[in-house]
Amino acid sequence: MGFILNIETATKNCSVSLAQAGNVVAIREFAGEGYSHAEKLHIFIEEVLKEAETNFSGLEAVAVSMGPGSYTGLRIGVSAAKGLCYALNIPLLAIDTLEVLARKLKITEGVIVPMIDARRMEVYNAVFDTNYNKKSDTKAEIITGDSFSEYTDICHLVGDGAEKCRALLPDNKFMYHNDIIYPSSAEMALLSYNKHQKSDTVDVAYFEPFYLKDFVMNR
C-alpha cells in the first residue's frame, strides 16, 4: 500500500506528515513567530519520505489543508501540493482546516469550536459535534458577547483565535483549551485516507484554497 503526503500550512504551523492506511508514519512540523513555510516545507517533505524509506514514486496522493487561514501559508501549501500531483500524476485531496483543528480535541459532550485568528477580534470558525460533524457553516466572525448564544451545551474553544475571546465570552459554558493552538498534518492522516478511499478528489488544475476573506497585505 502506498503513502499519502499531508501538507498543513494554513497557520503559523508548517506541518508535513506521511501516512499509510490513515496512520502517520513520519511527521515534521514547526510553528514559529513568523511564517517560515517557504523555507521549511520542501525540506520537511524530503525528511518524511526519507524517514519512511520511500520516495516520491511511493506516493498515492497528496492532501492539502484547504483553509481558511493565512493567505500566504495556504498559497505555499497548495502550490507545493499541486506541483507534486501534476508531476507525479496522482490525485489531490483537499481537507477542511477547521476540521483538522477540531480533531485535535476529543470530547464526549458539548461542541467543539475551532478558531483561527483572522486579525483584531475576528476569527475563522465553525462548530462541530462530538463526532466531528459540522453543525455550522465556516465563517469569518467578529466575536461579541452574543457569539454562540444558540448553543446551550459546553463550547470547547480551540485554536490561536480562542484566547482573545476569553474577555468577551467568560461564561462557564465556554471551555478554553489553550494547549491546542494550531492544526497539524497528524490529524489529516485519517481524513485524507477516507477521502482517497472514496475518490473524493479535487481538480489539480483549478483547485484554489478556501480563503474566506480578501487578501490583506500584512497578513
What is the DSSP code (8-state) at residue 205? T
196, with CB counted inside 10 A (0-12, 13-18, 19+), is buried
Whether pLDDT at 85 is above 80: yes
- Higher-confidence position of 119 and 2: 2
Write down the pLDDT at residue 16: 98
Q: What is the pLDDT of residue 142?
A: 95
Which of 3.40.950.10, 3.90.1530.10, 3.30.9.10, 3.30.420.40 would CATH assign to domain 3-97+183-197?
Answer: 3.30.420.40
Alpha carbon distance 163, 145 (integer Å) = 14
pLDDT > 70 in the chain, percent? 97
Is there a contact between 5 and 62 (Cβ–Cβ < 8 Å)?
yes
What number is the average pLDDT over the span 96-116? 97
pLDDT band at 102 (very low <50, low <70, confident <90, very high): very high
Predicted local confidence at residue 214, as pLDDT = 56
pLDDT digits (tens, 9 = 90+) for 178-216: 999 999 999 999 999 999 999 999 999 999 999 876 544
User: What burial class does residue 55 get, using C-beta atoms within 10 Å of its C-beta: 0-12 exposed, 13-18 middle, 19+ buried?
Assistant: exposed
CA atoms within 13 A on the CB side of 115: 28
Q: Is the CB of residue 45 less than 8 Å from the CB of residue 52?
A: no
Q: Write out the DSSP string of 7-35.
A: EE-SSSEEEEEEEETTEEEEEEEEE-SS-
Average pLDDT of 50-76?
Answer: 96
Q: Mean pLDDT score of the chain, rounded to an integer?
A: 94
Per-residue pLDDT reduced to its tens digit, 144-175: 999 999 999 999 999 999 998 999 998 899 99
Question: The C-alpha cell of 10 is what?
Answer: 494554513
The predicted structure's pLDDT at residue 35: 73
CB-based burial, 8-44: b 16+ in 10 Å, e otherwise: bbbbbbbbbbbbbeeebbbbbbeeeeebebeebbeeb
| pLDDT score, position 32 | 82
- Edge-to-edge strands of the sheet including 3-8? 23-31, 13-20, 3-8, 59-65, 92-95
Q: pLDDT above 90 covers what percent of the chain? A: 89
Q: Does residue 35 or residue 142 have the better pLDDT?
A: 142
Given a cut of 50, whether residue 67 has pLDDT beyond it is yes
pLDDT over threshold 50, residue 97: yes
Average of per-residue pLDDT across 15-40: 93
CA–CA distance, 28 with 43 (Å, rounded to integer):
9
- What distance in Å separates the CA atoms of residue 7 and residue 62, rounded to the nearest whole number? 8
Is it the case that residue 219 has pLDDT exceeding 60?
no
- Model confidence over 109-143: pLDDT tens digits? 999 999 999 988 899 999 999 999 999 999 999 99
Distance between CA 117 and CA 152 in Å, rounded?
Answer: 24
Q: Which fold is adopted by the domain 105-177?
A: Nucleotidyltransferase; domain 5 (3.30.420)
What pLDDT sits at residue 170?
86
Q: Where are the domains of the chain?
A: 3-97+183-197, 105-177
